[in-house]
Structure 1
Amino acid sequence: MNNRVLSGMRPTGRLHLGHYHGVLKNWLTLQNERDSYFFVADWHAFTTHYSDKIDLETNVSEMVVDWLAAGINPNTSTIFVQSKVPEHAELHLLLSMTTPLSWLERVPSYKDQQEKLKGRDLGTYGFLGYPLLQSADILIYKAGLVPVGEDQVAHIELTREVARRFNYVYGREADFEEKAEAAIGKMGKKQAKSYRLLRKSYQETGDIEALSRAQALLKEQQNITLGDRERLLGYVEGVGKIILPEPESLLTKASKMPGLDGQKMSKSYGNTISLRNTAEEIETKVKRMPTDPARVKLTDAGDPKKCPVWQLHKVYSDKQTCDWVKDGCSNAKMGCIECKQPVVDAIKAELGPMQERITKYQADPDLIKQIIHEGSEKARIVAKETMNEVREAMGITY
């Protein structure tokens, strides 16, 4: 398993607190632990918004500004834009040649999104094929880990199946076994013996631990090339050379950021607080939030569990404040406006410094262009290497 992670966002509008708590805070941790690739998925914006007049140029730039203001560091992460790495599209096309249509039709989000977005014409190949474009996004960087929520695990499973099928069809070198045996000979007697025993154990009994140990053994090898290592990884599993490694899901901590109405915060529900909302806008939005309908008068007791504001307290308030809210609401000791104030203050405190950084980055558009250009060029170097291997495996290097 390699150390690289890949994640992206579609630039279809302003980022909100749901993006920050659900995605960006996780990225902030990952960028210090792993080789992190974060991209603006501008082509993916067309899968559901192809007929909308989105100002993509502005959206892309503003999204990168928000990432930087949230703390994503271009010196430790690779920040890039999908369309600036056209190899994504080439790999998507080539993978489509071997991917069964039924695999795409069974992706859970295919029917779910059609149901949720009934007002849009989603009977397009782009919408049907967007999970495969996601697979190309991941596989072209040979990302070992992809941070996702539970609702996206099916997409990673599809990616694994796509990679496995591609490796099976195109990883069959004519002299594969001879090359694999020659590579084992380069490992040294002790390691070669261990490798053979682990391979035998996995192939004869399906011992998953033996597979993991064989993979770890190969990762430590200094005497073999990257090509030989991938060849031997495939040899353990009984397939050909692994051209496109299968990624793993990195499940992110369930972070269902509540919206202003108690549902999950989402642009489609119109219940968001944007990272760029002013202090006045934040105050107005929170103070207009619905509360427990049982509390008609100040003297009516309420139940915090029935109030959307309580969901925000669970995100922003410490135990002492939460206890104060439960007591004040359940025993009618406070009004709803008083209860909302700590949430207002906490959101302002969180977004204030971020908005100062947003203003600073907005004042230097050339810096943003430079960060996007340099990150996209770095990403493209990796993407080109993968495409060279893919073309060679498919016999289109003429």
Structure 2
Amino acid sequence: MAENKRHSIDVLIGNVIIGGRNPIRVQSMTDTITSDVEATVRQIVALHREGSEMVRLSVLDASDAVAVPQIRDRLITEGCCVPLVGDFHFNAHTLLEKHPACVRALDKVRINPGNVGFGDSHDTNFARIIEIVGSHDKAIRIGANWGSLDDNVRSRLLAEHPDWPMESILEQAMIRSTLESAAFAIKMGFPANRLVLSAKVSHVPALLSIYRELAKQTDFALHLGLTEAGTGEPAVIASTAAMSVLLQEGIGDTLRVSLTPALEADGEDPRLQEVRVCQQILQSNGLRNFVPTVRSCPGCGRTNRDIHRPMVHLVHTFVARQAREWRTRFPGSESLVIAVMGCVVNGLREAKQADIGISLPGRGSHEDVPMLFSDGESRGGLNGEDSGQCFLKAIEDYIESRFS
């Protein structure tokens, strides 16, 4: 945990505590039709097994609300105790009132202050939501989003500051909408230790500005996320850039990476990528460990790329495949550092600095076999016919010896 982590109020969500000095939690969201109980349960279980510590699901209408308790029951049967977050827009007050079993089955309710109601109905609907959720001792996330910003708040700011650029109006409107909604909930008697805030935009500098201001003005737990980040590498990079800056400043208690999934391939749900990216962001920032880190050089004219590239790919694939089993059998192995280096220029020392590593001969090297290192000591050359498999065996033996 970062030494400079912002003080925030602990919030219990199901069996998970966020905020305070607790670990920063990984969240994800389903993209199934919630009323399709079978598909939704299958995806929630997959997300949880991948490492999601909370899963959000859309509650669009009555059929979704009716399905939520069924989903909870099925998850219990499957031995999956992940906290569930209901995502409501426009009609939360109606659905929560008509379907109390849905409220009971959820651990947290996400509401959007920009669409709980319009005009005079805004405060009435919002108050009813707070009353219902509060009576069931559930948590609420007040989640503002720039795509559905409260028009009343924006209009007030435009009137107060007609000379401000629209970017500043937007940022301040997001902050004000979030904080005014939180103040309204507290005034209604909703406990601060069941309240989480978020304010998501898709422009990285604006997101940083908004969350820094929220962190200054309140001690409520904060959920991080860059909305509509996109897909593929650009989305991962943008999300990582935003989250890493905030996390290094001690801001954030949970996070979700909002990626448009790739097309499904190899039978794996592409939705799982958002969990892995969250984990990698936290791990790269030194905040949590989930899988062993594999370090490798990029290769250059000194490396033998026909050996180096396949070796790196082999080790990465092996670690990814084994990581979940290792976490269960060998607690602590997720902090392991494994090195695959391509030549002797830096490779020998870099391999030594890892827990276990290999330095390949490279072009023009006096060594003609890969050199194995562990715990800072040379363990000699890998002389077998298949040095890749020899190294994988050495990794397994090392983990079993060190973490058993």
Bigger RCO (CA 8 Å, 6+ sep): 1
Alignment TM class, shorter chain as reference? under 0.3
Higher helix share: 1
TM-score by length of 1: 0.27
